[in-house]
């Protein structure tokens, strides 16, 4: 079966808005202070944002820590878009291509806990945090600010960054919830690092009141938060709940105010089973649907035969029945991805603008066989595919469908299943013989998707790509400040990549974000910033 242009457009459509989201009505109400919000969370491996990339840690700290900038949140922001606003920074300027100057808010106070005891935050704290982020050993996120040459504090409320080279995504990196959380030097001096929960001291809207390992975290309102009147919610009870049946039962019985999966969603496979019951038991629930930025792909040794032949790569993409994957793995609801995840609606190229390369995303096994024959493989070829389950049966299902589709055109894939740690240590970094199948991190910026995967010698260049055309465009987009022009370059990159098929992209799931109707002025989005999205929300119950 092939996808019609209409199918492609429908499946690739960006936000599938929920019926009950009514921002205008929400804004008309007067916010109420107080109440306890109950959510499901994950037990952080530790609390040091500079020593782990774990979403479990970064979600926990999104309630308690501030950054220089942040992503705007609330019903006015469409999921998949990330407009920037000041967090600790009141304003910022860019005097030249490589200099950024931030003016900090005055009177920002640290949580009233030892050793900082509510002292005022200054530019020195920001400089310390950035330098610690860049220099501490073991910070796997340090690459995000690789462009920074130096950071200085000309005065108490001014922070100046000098970059080694132009990097237009710099502000987006600073806003990203897993970039620099601003921390206090005294805490590091006292504890040696930020791993223990006692070190969770920030300037964010909530303070960590208690941490019970494997049980939960309780946050209480920061009475000295720098935005007057905020946050509205007094207390957040975050429960560690590692079993899906338990989480589902908890949600059905009204324990959680947000969906129990990442970003407050419910997996569609669960959602279709319980939505009828929920309609009766929790009729006030609100929902909104939007695509996940996590996409799976096949990577290949494009530096070796047979994958060095573009006809073979195109044949592989044509062999994949993406519609069948959506139907069987995502309960019929998913989106097709061009080289940048469709979830990033401002940057992913629409399929009708993809040009010649769009045809390689259709399911056409006959054309795939013809291309293989033309490349000298009329009977296909055998190969291995490195794989790990990531603990999710959905990924196993998709892997099996991919194997079946490739087999149908003569590519006989033997799955080389590895344990997660072994997979990350080898195949994830391109150490494999033939092919690898797995998910790509769901980034919030297109640069993270493209540069790491396609620039020569980058660690995550799994397909061993060395394409001067792509490399040149990747550098150019990093130096193009004007968003419209940058978008055009990123579209050009995607057009080129669609033709080349260095990776065969799979469709993504569509999140079903769900929340209690009593939670007002809230809207879900991608990313770890739970605290940011809840900061101005309030409870009407």
Query: What is the b/e burial string over 278-311, where b = at least 16 CB atoms within 10 angstroms of the residue's CB?
Result: beeebeebbbbbbbbbbbbbbbbbbeeebbebbb
Q: Which residues contact 477 (CB under 8 A, 6 or more apart)?
A: 168, 447, 450, 486, 489, 490, 493
User: Of the two residues 138 and 378, which places its CB atom closer to other proteins in the complex?
Assistant: 138
Q: For residues 340 and 498, is the Cβ–Cβ distance under 8 A?
A: no
Neighbouring-strand partners of residue 286: 515
User: Of the two residues 16 and 252, which places its CB atom closer to other proteins in the complex?
Assistant: 252
| Shortest distance in whole angstroms from residue 43 CB to other proteins | 8
User: Of the two residues 16 and 278, which places its CB atom closer to other proteins in the complex?
Assistant: 278
User: Of the two residues 248 and 312, which places its CB atom closer to other proteins in the complex?
Assistant: 248
Cis, peptide link before residue 362, omega less than 30° from 0: no
User: Of the two residues 241 and 364, which places its CB atom closer to other proteins in the complex?
Assistant: 241
- Nearest CA to 178 out of 342, 60, 308, 296 is that of 60
| Shortest distance in whole angstroms from residue 278 CB to other proteins | 10
- Residue 109 is classified by DSSP as B
Q: Return the SS3 of 312.
A: helix
| Shortest distance in whole angstroms from residue 136 CB to other proteins | 10
| Shortest distance in whole angstroms from residue 133 CB to other proteins | 13
Can you say whether the dihedral through the CA atoms of 130, 135, 136, 139 is positive or negative?
Answer: positive
| Shortest distance in whole angstroms from residue 517 CB to other proteins | 17
Query: Residue ranges of the alpha helices (H) in 92-155?
Result: 123-135
| Shortest distance in whole angstroms from residue 441 CB to other proteins | 6
CA distances from 269 to 64, 251, 275, 301, 393 (A): 33, 15, 10, 34, 11
User: Of the two residues 366 and 425, which places its CB atom closer to other proteins in the complex?
Assistant: 425
| Shortest distance in whole angstroms from residue 289 CB to other proteins | 23
Q: For residues 527 and 265, is the Cβ–Cβ distance under 8 A?
A: no
User: Of the two residues 177 and 306, which places its CB atom closer to other proteins in the complex?
Assistant: 177
User: Of the two residues 27 and 215, which places its CB atom closer to other proteins in the complex?
Assistant: 215
| Shortest distance in whole angstroms from residue 417 CB to other proteins | 12
∠ CA 233-238-240 to the nearest 5 degrees?
175
Binding site for other proteins (CB under 8 A): 43, 45-46, 51-54, 137-141, 143, 193, 195-196, 212-216, 239-243, 245-246, 248-250, 252-255, 274, 277, 281, 418-425, 428, 441, 459-460
By CB neighbour count within 10 A (0-12 exposed, 13-18 middle, 19+ buried), where does 65 fall?
A: buried
| Shortest distance in whole angstroms from residue 256 CB to other proteins | 11
User: Of the two residues 21 and 142, which places its CB atom closer to other proteins in the complex?
Assistant: 142
User: Of the two residues 95 and 421, which places its CB atom closer to other proteins in the complex?
Assistant: 421
User: Of the two residues 45 and 223, which places its CB atom closer to other proteins in the complex?
Assistant: 45
- Nearest CA to 145 out of 179, 95, 121 is that of 179
| Shortest distance in whole angstroms from residue 86 CB to other proteins | 27
CA distances from 7 to 267, 287, 335 (A): 23, 24, 10
User: Of the two residues 43 and 289, which places its CB atom closer to other proteins in the complex?
Assistant: 43
| Shortest distance in whole angstroms from residue 143 CB to other proteins | 6
User: Of the two residues 215 and 366, which places its CB atom closer to other proteins in the complex?
Assistant: 215
Query: What is the b/e burial string over 380-407, where b = at least 16 CB atoms within 10 angstroms of the residue's CB?
Result: bbebebbbbbeeeebbbebbebbbebbe
CA distances from 275 to 227, 297, 375, 491, 523 (A): 37, 31, 50, 38, 20
| Shortest distance in whole angstroms from residue 49 CB to other proteins | 13
∠ CA 41-45-50 to the nearest 5 degrees?
110
| Shortest distance in whole angstroms from residue 250 CB to other proteins | 6
Distance CA 180, CA 129 (A): 7
What count of Cα atoms within 13 Å lies in the side-chain half-sphere of residue 177? 29
Q: Which residues contact 88 (CB under 8 A, 6 or more apart)?
A: 66, 67, 68, 104, 105, 108, 121, 126, 182, 203, 226
């Amino acid at each position: 079966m092939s996808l019609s242009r209409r199918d492609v457009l429908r499946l690739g459509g960006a936000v599938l808005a929920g019926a009950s989201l009514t921002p205008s009505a929400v804004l008309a109400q007067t916010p109420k202070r107080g109440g306890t919000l109950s959510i499901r969370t994950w037990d952080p491996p530790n609390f040091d944002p500079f020593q782990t990339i774990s979403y479990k840690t970064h979600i926990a700290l999104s309630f308690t820590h501030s950054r220089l900038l942040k992503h705007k949140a609330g019903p006015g922001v469409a999921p998949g878009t990330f407009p920037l606003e000041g967090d600790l920074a009141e304003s910022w300027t860019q005097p030249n291509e490589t200099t950024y100057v931030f003016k900090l808010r005055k009177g920002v106070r640290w949580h009233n806990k030892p050793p900082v005891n509510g002292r005022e935050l200054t530019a020195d704290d920001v400089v310390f945090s950035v330098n610690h982020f860049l220099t501490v050993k073991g910070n796997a996120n340090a690459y995000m600010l690789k462009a920074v040459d130096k950071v200085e504090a000309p005065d108490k409320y001014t922070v100046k960054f000098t970059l080694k080279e132009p990097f237009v995504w710099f502000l987006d990196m600073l806003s990203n919830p897993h970039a620099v959380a601003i921390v206090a030097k005294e805490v590091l001096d006292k504890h040696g690092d930020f791993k223990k929960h006692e070190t969770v001291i920030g300037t964010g809207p909530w303070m960590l009141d208690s941490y019970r390992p494997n049980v939960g975290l309780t946050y209480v309102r920061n009475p000295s938060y720098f935005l007057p009147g905020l946050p509205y919610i007094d207390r957040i009870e975050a429960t560690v709940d590692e079993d899906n049946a338990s989480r589902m039962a908890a949600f059905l019985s009204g324990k959680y105010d947000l969906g129990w999966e990442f970003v407050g969603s419910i997996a569609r496979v669960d959602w279709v089973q319980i939505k009828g019951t929920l309609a009766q038991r929790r009729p006030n629930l609100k929902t909104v649907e939007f695509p996940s930025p996590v996409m799976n792909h096949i990577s290949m040794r494009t530096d070796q035969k047979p994958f060095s032949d573009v006809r073979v790569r195109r044949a592989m993409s044509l062999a994949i029945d993406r519609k069948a994957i959506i139907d069987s793995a995502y309960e019929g609801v998913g989106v097709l991805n061009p080289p940048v995840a469709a979830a990033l609606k401002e940057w992913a190229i629409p399929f009708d603008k993809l040009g010649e390369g769009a045809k390689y995303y259709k399911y056409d096994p006959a054309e795939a066989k013809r291309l293989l024959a033309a490349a000298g493989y009329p009977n296909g070829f055998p190969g291995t595919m490195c794989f790990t389950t990531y603990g999710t049966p959905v990924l196993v299902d998709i892997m099996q469908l991919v194997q079946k589709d490739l087999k149908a055109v003569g590519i006989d894939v033997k799955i080389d299943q590895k344990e997660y740690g072994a997979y990350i240590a080898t195949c994830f970094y391109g150490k494999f013989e033939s092919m690898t199948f797995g998910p790509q991190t769901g980034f919030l910026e297109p640069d993270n998707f493209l540069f790491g995967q396609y620039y020569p010698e980058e660690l995550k260049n799994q397909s061993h790509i060395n394409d001067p055309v792509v490399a040149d465009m990747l550098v150019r987009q990093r130096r193009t400040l004007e968003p419209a022009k940058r978008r055009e370059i990123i579209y050009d990159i995607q057009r080129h990549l669609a033709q080349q098929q260095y990776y065969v992209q799979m469709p993504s799931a569509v999140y079903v974000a769900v929340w209690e109707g009593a939670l007002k002025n809230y809207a879900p989005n991608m990313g770890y910033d739970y605290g940011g999205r809840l900061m101005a929300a309030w409870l009407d119950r």
